[in-house]
């Protein structure tokens, strides 16, 4: 894998799935810098998403909910949409960029167990898909 690859993880609200995906990529994939955003961000990270990251030894304080406009000018190597809404409305980027869709159910509004399930799913599937897509 080439060094210093940049990956954007997008969902609708940027409060759970994309935040967890960003954190996992940054924690487990060397030479990859992940970012996340929402097409309609809620403006805050879900407390259970923060809690699940901390439970697995990942500092959640550096992650925040943001709009695509905040990251659109970054030269991404890969854009990953993790929900149907973001996949359907994925915008055009200034530079041609590879896009993949790896969908996960939204744990927002569910009990903490749903966040644990989502975390494990994202760790198992997303990391593998990102590594494969980056080559």
Chain segment 78-121, per-residue pLDDT in tens: 999 998 766 676 666 768 889 999 999 999 999 999 999 999 99
From the list 110, 116, 44, 37, the residue with the least C-alpha distance to 74 is 37
- The residues assigned a catalytic role are 11, 83, 90
Write the pLDDT tens digit of every residue in 19-76: 999 999 999 999 999 999 998 899 999 999 999 999 999 999 999 999 999 998 899 9
Domain 5-134 adopts which CATH fold?
Rossmann fold (3.40.50)
Model pTM?
0.93
CA 35 – CA 18 distance, rounded (Å):
9
Structural domain boundaries of the chain?
5-134
Phi, psi dihedrals of residue 14, rounded to the nearest 5°: 50, 50
pLDDT of residue 87: 64
Phi, psi dihedrals of residue 55, rounded to the nearest 5°: -60, -30
């Amino acid at each position: 894998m080439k060094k210093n690859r940049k990956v954007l993880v997008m969902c609708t609200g940027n409060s759970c799935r994309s935040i967890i995906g960003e954190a996992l990529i940054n924690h487990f994939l060397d030479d990859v810098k992940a970012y996340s955003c929402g097409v309609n961000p809620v403006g805050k990270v879900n407390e259970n998403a923060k809690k699940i990251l901390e439970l697995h030894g990942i500092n959640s304080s550096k992650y925040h909910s943001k709009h695509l406009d905040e990251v659109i000018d970054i030269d991404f190597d890969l854009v990953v949409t993790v929900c149907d809404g973001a996949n359907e409305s994925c915008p055009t980027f200034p530079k041609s960029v590879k896009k993949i869709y790896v969908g996960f159910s939204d744990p927002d509004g569910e009990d903490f167990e749903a966040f644990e399930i989502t975390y494990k799913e994202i760790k198992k599937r997303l990391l593998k898909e990102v590594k494969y897509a980056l080559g």
